[in-house]
Amino acid sequence: MLELFKPYTEELVKIVILLALISLAIAYLTWLERKVIGHIQSRLGPMRVGWHGLLQPIADGIKFIIKEDIIPAKADRFGFILAPLLAFIPAFIVFALIPFDGPQAFTVGGKTYSGYVADVDIALLFVMAITSICVLGLIVGGWASNSKYPLLGALRSVAQLVSYEIPMGLSVMGVVLMAGSLSLVRIVQAQERLGWWFFLPQLVGFVIYFICGVAETNRNPFDLPEAEAELVGGYHTEYSGFRFALFFLAEYANMITISAVAATLFLGGWLMPFPSLLAPYLSWVPGIVWFSLKVFAFLFLYLWFRGTFPRYRFDQLMGIMWKILLPVAIANILVTAGVMLYLNR
Amino acid sequence: MTPVAQLVKKILFIDLFQGLAITIREMFTPAVTEQYPRQRSHVYERFRGEPRMGVDANGKTLCIACNLCAQVCPENCITVKREKNPETKKFELTGYVFDMRRCMFCGFCEEICPTDCIQLTPAYELARYDVRDFVLELPALERGMDKTHYRK
């Protein structure tokens, strides 16, 4: 049995490290969110558990584990148990394809290792496909709860899904046209060759991608399926204990995914900003640090949005996605394709 | 504003950026909340909190058993127990019960008291574990309620 896994030792070790780091990042993202939102509202956020509340995520985790796990009597048991897993597992699968660092990231014992688990030729397509499955978890959970608020949440989730997926898929096509590849690693390398990160020539695609990303992760101002004020908690109203925690973790993992993909596609992944200026001084900084900084910037933007914008109505959301973002995304593809054709004449 | 300018404003997300600017500015302003057990609330001198009965220099009560506080109390939470001394023809205090369960801290009793005996002090931590602890007798009123100590 062990022989079977031997060729994949490198990948397995990376997966284990990645799982631990991402889980830690998610835990402290919840802490960061409470802190940022607190300070925006002139509060302090968590202060009591540990220094400035630093142990709060651990306390929350313990609370989730020891809480009673309730399955409502009239719920569809199979769907109810399946839904949190359906939301949680795909959210973590995607990290296998995110290039945290370049192909020659670090050297251990004379052998050079890459900064990603796998470099797949259709990585971008795969990421788009898998992140969509997370939403399926919300829909199944809302339906299986057999209760009115989760059902309304699931309904909204479907309406949201059919709206944002198309402009989102189209918005990254400009990047694919410019890089000539769907592989995330090669997209970053294309940005290195070009000398510009794609967010400048693809500003429109970048903005559309991020707006759709916010909608995909169900964050403010597009948190319609949850909508605490209207739907009690939307799809996870009936969930408690660790099943709720899985939904919660999936939401934050998705935020990190969207941020990581945005950083890879538009902000040059592991590349250093202003290489001609900073390279003599900062070339010793590993690429993963730059990547983490970029991801952190996006995550902060998410929290900042939550502290600023009120929620859209769901017909407004569909209006924005179908009437504005979709035509603009198509126009963006046409213009990019035209320019690329002209340049490669 | 012309329609063209409005359209440009919409496309460039001017309103959204204004909102973001406000929230980021608020983020760096000091918090207005107080960290209660660690920081004490600021209480003004005339705050009406825990009731106390005053004593003179010899430790004798200032109360003259006039019963005015019991009469003025809108919630009837004060009971003055008194007996008429047949020699001096004056009332003498035999007991005083202040039922804090009903008290609404209006301060009428301290206003009407001719000897400034009963007072509502600024002490505000009045929560107790037992409802019987809210019925205060004369010794408790003179000593002050037993303090609940909150851990930091």
Answer whether residue A226 shows pLDDT above 80: no
Measure CA A151 to chain center: 25
Q: How far apart are CA B10 and CA A324, in angstroms?
A: 12
Answer whether residue A106 shows pLDDT above 80: no
The residue of chain B nearest to residue A301, with distances taken between CA atoms, is B20
Q: Which helix (H) or strand (E) holds B118?
A: strand B118-120
pLDDT at residue number B145: 67
Of the partner residues A36, A44, A307, the one whose CB lies closest to the CB of residue B31:
A44
Q: What is the pLDDT of residues A282-312, one digit of tens each?
A: 777 787 888 888 999 999 998 999 888 888 8
Shortest distance, CA A327 to any CA of chain B (angstroms): 14
Of the partner residues B20, B28, B29, the one whose CB lies closest to the CB of residue A308:
B20
pLDDT at residue number B72: 92
pLDDT at residue number A1: 67
Q: What is the pLDDT of residues B127-138, one digit of tens each?
A: 888 888 888 888
pTM given for the model: 0.80
Residue A39 with chain B: CB contacts under 8 Å: 26-28, 31
Average pLDDT over residues A18-44: 89
B130 touches chain A (CB under 8 A): no
ipTM of the complex: 0.71
Contacts of A134 (CB under 8 A, 6+ apart): A86, A87, A90, A91, A250, A254
Residue A323 with chain B: CB contacts under 8 Å: none
For the record, the structure tokens of B92 come out as 């003498």
pLDDT at residue number A163: 86
Shortest distance, CA B102 to any CA of chain A (angstroms): 34
The DSSP-derived string for A145-203 is TTSHHHHHHHHHHHHHHHHHHHHHHHHTHHHHHHHT-S-HHHHHHHHHHHSS-TTTTTH
Location of structure tokens 């997209």: A187
Answer whether residue B151 shows pLDDT above 70: no
Bond into A221 cis (ω within 30):
yes
Q: Which of A32, A40, A303 to mutate to test the interface with B (most CBs of B within 10 A)?
A: A40
Shortest distance, CA A30 to any CA of chain B (angstroms): 17
> Could you tell me if A171 and A209 are in contact, meaning their C-beta atoms sit under 8 angstroms apart?
yes
Record: contact A42-B33, CB cut-off 8 A: yes
Residues 8-47 (B) with a CB less than 8 A from some CB of A: 16, 19-20, 22-24, 26-33, 35
First to last CA, chain A: 54
Q: What is the pLDDT of residues B40-53, one digit of tens each?
A: 888 888 888 888 88
pLDDT at residue number B35: 83
Q: What angle (nearest 5°) sits at the alpha carbon of residue A262, between those of residues A163 and A126?
A: 70
pLDDT at residue number A117: 81
Record: contact B23-A42, CB cut-off 8 A: no
For the record, the structure tokens of A263 come out as 């950083």
Q: Who wins on pLDDT, A178 or A102?
A: A178
Shortest distance, CA A107 to any CA of chain B (angstroms): 41
Q: Which of A33, A36, A37, A39 to mutate to test the interface with B (most CBs of B within 10 A)?
A: A39
Average pLDDT over residues B85-110: 88
Average pLDDT over residues A232-251: 83
Residue B26 with chain A: CB contacts under 8 Å: 39-42
Q: What is the pLDDT of residues A111-146, one digit of tens each?
A: 777 778 888 888 888 888 888 888 888 888 888 888
Residue ranges of chain A whose CB lies within 8 Å of a chain B CB:
36, 38-44, 47, 304-305, 307-309
pLDDT at residue number A141: 86
Q: Which helix (H) or strand (E) holds B81?
A: strand B78-85
pLDDT at residue number B147: 60
